[in-house]
């Protein structure tokens, strides 16, 4: 099963490699934003995205992010996902640790 989790982009860390830092359930992680870059990357901080295996796959609005996070919390999945994200030894797309 493929699972995407909402995250909020907080900063662009490497525009050339299209990497940004996202806050995912309280854990900050570098992700690739190539699939959602519709304009200048500087427009992305503050936006919500659906993240799967280190890639932002779609832009979503804050309401959709909140509903998805609430559904994951109800299933007891957000703590497990946050633990899995933080326990991945920091290897981000492109090999950088965060």
- CATH number reported for the structural domain that contains residue 68 in this entry: 2.30.30.140
DSSP state letters, 10-75 = EEEEETTTTEEEEEETTEEEEEE-GGG-SS-GGG-TT-EEEEETTEEEEEE-HHHHHHHHHHHHHT
Residue 61 within any structural domain of the chain: yes
| pLDDT tier for residue 69 given thresholds of 50, 70 and 90 | confident
Query: Total domain count for the chain?
Result: 1
Residue 92 within any structural domain of the chain: no
The boundaries of the domain holding residue 42 are 5-86
Residue 94 within any structural domain of the chain: no
Structure token digits, residue 60 = 């979503």
Residue 97 within any structural domain of the chain: no
Residue 37 within any structural domain of the chain: yes
Give residue-wise pLDDT tens across range 14-39.
999 999 999 998 899 999 999 999 89
Residue 67 within any structural domain of the chain: yes
Please tell me the pTM assigned to this model: 0.76
């Amino acid at each position: 099963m493929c699972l995407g989790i909402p995250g909020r982009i907080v900063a662009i860390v490497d525009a050339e490699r299209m990497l940004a830092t996202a806050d995912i359930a309280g854990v900050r992680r570098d992700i690739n934003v190539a699939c959602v870059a519709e304009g200048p990357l500087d427009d992305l901080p503050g936006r919500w995205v659906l993240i799967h295996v280190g890639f932002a796959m779609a832009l979503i609005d804050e309401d959709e992010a909140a509903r998805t996070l609430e559904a994951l919390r109800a299933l007891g999945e957000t703590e497990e996902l946050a633990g899995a994200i933080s326990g991945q030894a920091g290897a981000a797309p492109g090999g950088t640790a965060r």
